[in-house]
Amino acid sequence: MKSCSFPILLALVLICRISTAAEGIDGKRQQWKKEAILYLHTITPSNATRMAEIQIRGEAKTLRYKVVDEGLIKIGTNGWAYLKINSGCDTDREKAALGDMILAIDQDGNLYENDGHGCGGLLLISSTGKEFQTVQEFLSTLVYTEVFGVTEKWRRLTNETPAPVLRVKDDIESEKKRWTKKTLAYLKTIVPTPATRPVEIQIRGEAKVLRYHINDEGLIRFGTNGWVYIKIHTEAQDDKDKGKIGEIMLAIDHAGNLYQNDGEAESDVLILPKTGKEFQGVQEFLDTPVAGDVTGEMVKWKKLE
């Protein structure tokens, strides 16, 4: 009986150590997940420094997203998903010991988890052959890896508290402020030359109505030395930007005065002189409301102090 006691005791010690080690790893995995979720709640398109790589592969021109460690996927006009990955193949032994974990957050603060492998980066192949247009399209795409090729589905983490939706709105305001600051600095550098891009002058209809057609930016000249340079950001441009900004119109005149217009600018904007002729001075320009090319809403310019 005594001869059996030592092996049994040794086995119990080993089981205890294995159990303790497993509990230690589980605890560390939960800690990583907790920290990753807190980190994901801070992400917005304007502060995301890493983007998912969009790849086009083969004769079929297959579109796929590749994410290594973490990255932002733009979805449609103002949607997005941000992925955070821990890889069991990480060169950092402590990270590798935690195994594969994949989390994601969308623009509304909803969290998702995937049991796929994180080694070599994740690959998401678009079923439409085009970039994702909805979050649901992103979620219905199986995740597989370049190393293992195993596919796994996303599932929503319903026991986690979503971040406030307002954070997306806050991010838009932050993006607007950033664009405005950068654009005002740009406008202050404008010194018109014969090669400076002019605003298009159009003559329309039997009445020969004269109007200025602004697309992105351009110069309007007044008389001999007067001018105003306009820079706009339209809703149509948002698809090309990192984050949704919306409609902003800024201008500077020959005296260095800065102006802003809060009118609609879904695509281009139109300015229709009341006299039917080209502007003869800055005040005439300022007294003429801007018409959105889509909505037609008329809004006047205001001077920025």
The confidence band for 241, taking pLDDT boundaries of 50, 70 and 90, is very low
The confidence band for 185, taking pLDDT boundaries of 50, 70 and 90, is very high
Answer yes or no: is 7 within a domain: no
User: Which residue range forms the structural domain that includes residue 152?
Assistant: 32-156
Answer yes or no: is 22 within a domain: no
Answer yes or no: is 20 within a domain: no
pLDDT at 59 over 70: yes
> What local confidence, expressed as pLDDT, does residue 296 receive?
52
Boundary (domain end) residue, out of 134, 156, 178: 156
226 backbone dihedrals φ, ψ, rounded to 5°: -80, 150
Mean pLDDT within 59-79 = 86
Mean pLDDT within 253-265 = 88
**Same domain, residue pair 54 and 149:** yes
Query: For the ranges 226-240, 246-260, 273-287, which has the lowest average pLDDT?
Result: 226-240
> What local confidence, expressed as pLDDT, does residue 163 receive?
46
**Same domain, residue pair 224 and 132:** no
Amino acid in the structure at residue 167 = R
Boundary (domain end) residue, out of 103, 131, 156: 156
Answer yes or no: is 148 within a domain: yes
pLDDT at 81 over 70: yes
This prediction has a pTM of 0.48
The confidence band for 260, taking pLDDT boundaries of 50, 70 and 90, is very high
More confident residue, 174 or 17: 174
CB hemisphere CA count around 164 (13 angstroms): 5
> What local confidence, expressed as pLDDT, does residue 242 receive?
42
Mean pLDDT within 18-36 = 71
Mean pLDDT within 52-65 = 84
How far apart, in whole angstroms, are the C-alpha atoms of residue 282 and residue 30? 63
**Same domain, residue pair 38 and 152:** yes
Which residues, at least 6 apart from 193, have a Cβ–Cβ distance to it below 8 Å?
Answer: none
> What local confidence, expressed as pLDDT, does residue 19 receive?
46
**Same domain, residue pair 86 and 175:** no
**Same domain, residue pair 260 and 236:** yes
Boundary (domain end) residue, out of 126, 156, 186: 156
pLDDT at 148 over 90: no
As a three-state string, the secondary structure of the chain is CHHHHHHHHHHHHHHHHHHHHHHHHHHHHHHHHHHHHHHHCCCCCCCCCCECEEEEECCCCEEEEEECCEEEEEECCCEEEEEEEECCCCCCHHHHHCCCEEEEEECCCCEEEECCCCCCCEEEECCCCCCCCCHHHHHCCCEEECCCCCCECEEECCCCCCCCCHHHHHHHHHHHHHHHHHHHHHHCCCCCCCCCCECEEEEECCCCEEEEEECCEEEEEECCCEEEEEEEECHHHHHHCCCCCCCEEEEEECCCCEEEECCCCCCCEEECCCCCCCCCCHHHHHCCCEEECCCCCEECCEEEC
**Same domain, residue pair 195 and 294:** yes
The confidence band for 257, taking pLDDT boundaries of 50, 70 and 90, is very high
More confident residue, 274 or 167: 274
